[in-house]
């Protein structure tokens, strides 16, 4: 009961975050729909009973609803908030003027663009948010310097030693362990060529990460690559606009690929026999 009470303090923050994400997502649908000439009847943040709202100059009802866990955009020609079409005879009965602004009478590429615009807006928002964070606070990272080697790990087998600085992965320069971790987590047990600076001496070492299985919070078995390096150092890297955008896009892409790879593992993993 105490744990539940403690977690209630995070609810307002969760509502704010989910509201922002929903607004960005639905605004992506809304904006591209308007550019494609689709009439939007309703733009709702939340579901259920309307708390308050207003009409814009295009006749769209902007509303804030009672249940703040989601939202929707309802286009002209929709039968409901899920953008399901009206019955075919109803759609055919629309006038020429109404068909011109109906979502379901638009060309396939226009309808596809409207549908794709929601997740695309969220994706771009993630990059912009990270970019602003990196510009204002800097990007936290761990320098690519080995502090400790885990016994019997891939790092020990490859010949890495405490104090080694890893400068490149497969010929691409790096400056942080986060970049190494991204390569290892997504690549699983794919061999990696490391460029290492050991007290001024430049070395090339090949390391093959070991695949480790663990169960996530839902009980699904996940696989990740591990090399067995520990570091306690922490630094903040300052960015200009260009480098902040590149780093933000790179981080967003990593999270995307790692998430997709984890989802694929859950789909393809063999079923665990009951105990």
85: which strand partners? 78
- Cα atoms found within 13 Å of the Cα of residue 62, Cβ hemisphere only: 9
Q: Where are the beta strands (DSSP E) in the chain?
A: 40-55, 61-75, 139-141, 148-149, 165-169, 172-173, 192-198, 201-207, 210-215, 221-226, 229-230, 235-237
Q: Is 26 a catalytic residue?
A: yes
Candidates 26, 88, 148, 235; catalytic one: 26
| Strand, helix or coil for residue 162 | coil
Integer angstrom CA distances of residue 209 from 13, 183, 239: 38, 10, 31
229 in Cβ contact with 144 (< 8 Å): no
Kindly state the helix (H) or strand (E) to which residue 117 belongs, with its residue range.
helix 108-137
**How far apart, in whole angstroms, are the C-alpha atoms of residue 135 and residue 102?**
42
**How far apart, in whole angstroms, are the C-alpha atoms of residue 73 and residue 28?**
10
**How far apart, in whole angstroms, are the C-alpha atoms of residue 89 and residue 135?**
55
Q: Which residues are catalytic?
A: 26
């Amino acid at each position: 009961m105490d744990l539940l009470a403690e977690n209630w303090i995070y609810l307002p923050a969760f509502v704010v975050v989910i509201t922002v994400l929903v607004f960005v997502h639905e605004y992506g649908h809304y904006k591209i729909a308007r550019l494609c000439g689709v009439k939007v009847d309703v733009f709702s943040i939340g579901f259920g009973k309307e708390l308050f709202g207003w009409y814009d100059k295009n006749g769209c009802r902007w509303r804030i609803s009672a249940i703040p866990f989601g939202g929707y955009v309802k286009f002209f020609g929709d039968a409901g908030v899920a953008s399901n079409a009206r019955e075919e005879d109803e759609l055919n009965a629309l006038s020429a003027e109404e068909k011109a602004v109906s979502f379901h009478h638009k060309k396939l590429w226009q309808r596809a663009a409207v549908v794709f615009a929601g997740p695309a807006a969220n994706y771009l928002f993630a990059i912009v948010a990270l970019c602003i964070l990196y510009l204002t606070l800097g990007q936290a990272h761990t320098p690519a310097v080995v502090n400790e080697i885990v016994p019997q790990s891939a790092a020990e087998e490859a010949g890495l030693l405490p104090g080694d600085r890893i400068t490149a992965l497969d010929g691409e320069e790096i400056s942080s362990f986060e970049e190494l971790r991204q390569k290892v987590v997504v690549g699983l047990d794919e061999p990696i060529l490391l460029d290492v600076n050991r007290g001024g001496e430049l070395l090339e070492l090949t390391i093959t990460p070991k695949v480790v299985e663990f169960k996530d919070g839902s009980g699904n078995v996940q696989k990740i690559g591990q090399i067995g390096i520990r570091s306690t150092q922490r630094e903040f890297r300052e960015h200009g606009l260009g480098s902040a955008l590149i780093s933000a896009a790179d981080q967003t892409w990593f999270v995307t690929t790692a998430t997709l790879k984890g989802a694929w593992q859950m789909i393809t993993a063999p079923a665990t026999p009951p105990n």
